[in-house]
A and B are shown apart, each in its own frame.
Chain A
């Protein structure tokens, strides 16, 4: 039996029975579209996340956060978050010579920011002037705040590009006055663009001000949320972490059995967290797409089985004119695979369209991963083979005497 012939007639069958083909394909199309989208988006964001992480948290950094328990997974203080202070960090630097730079941080999750009649809700970050270096983020126009402004709790602010668009449109925001809550501030710089961070936050839609200003004039607190330390020699990290723990526990008068009221994060932990997040994209979500493929395969197998049952006359006829069992088997497996493969191609095309669409919406680079394409093609083929085998065997076993 000529295989090309069978493939061609499989395609013709597909076109002839449009309704049936549509229903058979649907599960596979959805599954492959989802798979293509998920893997491409996953790999695309993974890249951007890794870039951001490299930029923000190199091998020489330590992050100290107030409150025990992990912080970066979301605000979940396991203990008091009011005990970490600027003088704590000053003490650390005094005792640990390996710390050559540090920057404290405080944050307001959202406060109304107004310019003339426009208003929007923004995150407000408090930093020190060292943030420019420690967090590797400078201004694209204007200037960063200075030590003097920090010491005087000056009401100056840096604003991110997206926030500029929201409040100022095309106007130049420099030297303009805004109100954060009820407090007036002067804009002295526009933050360098940064995109989306590993938590999913848009880092261009926020405001930075001197931490002293934020603590005193906006929040009325004397504690900080976190501090990032830069080490001269990364090899001493473990030792330094021990020292930090000891010193902070002493300063906070913690008894032996009391847990830390702060947490220390090192690049190792950050990478582990990123891998865990990646696991969602690289394993879990594709698994979900895989489930829909399984469902698609079941649909295909079911409809094919029904088709076989309807086509007993045809099968009997083919056998009467000389088809062997294996010819019939091959015919039906090919028919099934032609359908699922076409469904896979459609799914890949839709997935690519979806990636382009989402990339333009989320302002991310459009990235279609070749792994997604290979997997898509492979899976659509595989589903066809597996789903087709059962009905095909049933067809091949039919006795022409009974059907004719």
Chain B
């Protein structure tokens, strides 16, 4: 089933003229983002690509409701988040956004199951254990749920992080350089999980500087010096699962 863009696909993320300015001191201001407008529809797999300093992290923070734009509007799933209080933003993050970070950010000395349960603590759900197990199954870690992060490989840790991002059934998965700390083969495994999730209908926004990685998405948005400079569909996204099967079998580390 291929994703054909139709006008019926609901809009998940809509950014209009987003600007973010930091004041370093009285005389110096940094324009991290200027006049950024974009739309992400439900079910898309978008990669935002840019070199370091391009503003892609700032953009991710704004999309992820961790930061507010200085100007412009952001509508998430038909709700204008500009008016929301800090507490309300936290709730939206909890329910609608799943984060995956470059350095995994798992709680040390806490096993995989409890790591995945973390977002549930701040929600109204009470069936922690079963939801977390389900999420871990999705990423193929059903046999590792009681392991601690230092007993897991890098790839496995990132998979725990993905399960954590999924556990509240969010509408958007935001991944910030998810393969940055992994070797290329493991990185492919992670990307193949994202592709699988996308095929299941999840909206995924991937931020990276790696063009090669970005080509696994179905749409690439380029950002440089705080502005979007390119936005085009990928005709044939790379298939990470196939690359794994075809490539030389190396031991996972």
Contact = CB atoms under 8 A, between A and B. Distances in A.
B55 interface: no
Given A16-B109, A401-B67, A324 B119 contact: no
Nearest to A13: B109
Contact of A317 (B87, B91, B105): B105
A42 B90 CA distance: 53
A322 B95 contact: yes
Contact of A321 (B86, B87, B94, B126): B94
Given A5-B121, A401-B61, A321 B164 contact: yes
A48 interface: no
B87 to A, nearest CB: 5
Nearest to B88: A324
A394 interface: no
A324 B118 contact: no
Nearest to A404: B101
Interface string B57-96: 0000100101100000000000000000011001101110
Nearest to A319: B90
Contacts of A313: 105
B150 interface: no
A316 B93 CA distance: 13
A323 B126 CA distance: 16
B230 interface: no
A322 B91 contact: yes
Contacts of A314: 105, 107
A320 interface: yes
Contacts of A320: 64, 66, 93, 99
A2 interface: yes
Interface residues of B, number: 24
B123 interface: yes
Contacts of A324: 86-87, 90-91, 122
Nearest to B109: A16
A70 interface: no
A3 to B, nearest CB: 11
A322 B118 CA distance: 9
A321 B64 contact: no
B122 A327 contact: yes
Nearest to A400: B66
A325 B121 contact: no
A318 interface: yes
Candidate in A316, A318, A404 with the most chain B CB atoms within 10 angstroms: A404
Interface in A237-273: none
A72 interface: no
The secondary structure that dominates the A interface is: helix
B107 A322 contact: no
Interface in B181-195: none
A116 to B, nearest CB: 70
Contacts of B168: 322
B106 to A, nearest CB: 9
B99 A321 contact: yes
B67 A322 contact: no
A291 interface: no
A404 B67 contact: no
Interface string B103-139: 0010101000000001101110010000000000000
A287 interface: no
B109 A322 contact: no
Given A1-B122, A2-B121, A400-B66, A322 B94 contact: yes
A321 B93 contact: yes
Contacts of B118: 317-318, 321
Contacts of B126: 2
Contacts of B122: 1, 318, 321-324, 327
A17 B119 CA distance: 23
A261 to B, nearest CB: 77
B165 to A, nearest CB: 8
Interface string A310-346: 0001101111111111110000000000000000000
A327 B168 CA distance: 18
A400 B164 CA distance: 17
Interface in A297-318: 313-314, 316-318
Contacts of A316: 105
Contact of B86 (A16, A317, A325): A325
A16 B93 CA distance: 29
A171 B110 CA distance: 69
Given A1-B122, A16-B109, A323 B61 contact: no
Contacts of B123: 322
A313 B106 CA distance: 9
Contacts of A400: 66
A63 B87 CA distance: 75
Nearest to B65: A320
Given A320-B64, A320-B93, A1 B101 contact: no
Interface in B139-179: 164, 168
Interface in B237-252: none
Contacts of A321: 93-94, 99, 118-119, 122, 164
Candidate in A2, A317, A325, A401 with the most chain B CB atoms within 10 angstroms: A317
28 contacts: A1-B122, A6-B121, A314-B107, A316-B105, A317-B105, A317-B118, A318-B118, A321-B93, A321-B94, A321-B99, A321-B118, A321-B122, A322-B90, A322-B93, A322-B119, A322-B122, A322-B123, A323-B121, A323-B122, A324-B86, A324-B87, A324-B122, A400-B66, A401-B61, A401-B66, A401-B67, A404-B101, A404-B105
Given A321-B164, A322-B90, A325-B87, 6 more contacts: A317-B105, A318-B118, A321-B94, A321-B122, A323-B90, A324-B90
A-B residue pairs, 7 tightest by C-beta: A322-B94, A322-B122, A321-B119, A324-B90, A16-B109, A317-B105, A324-B87
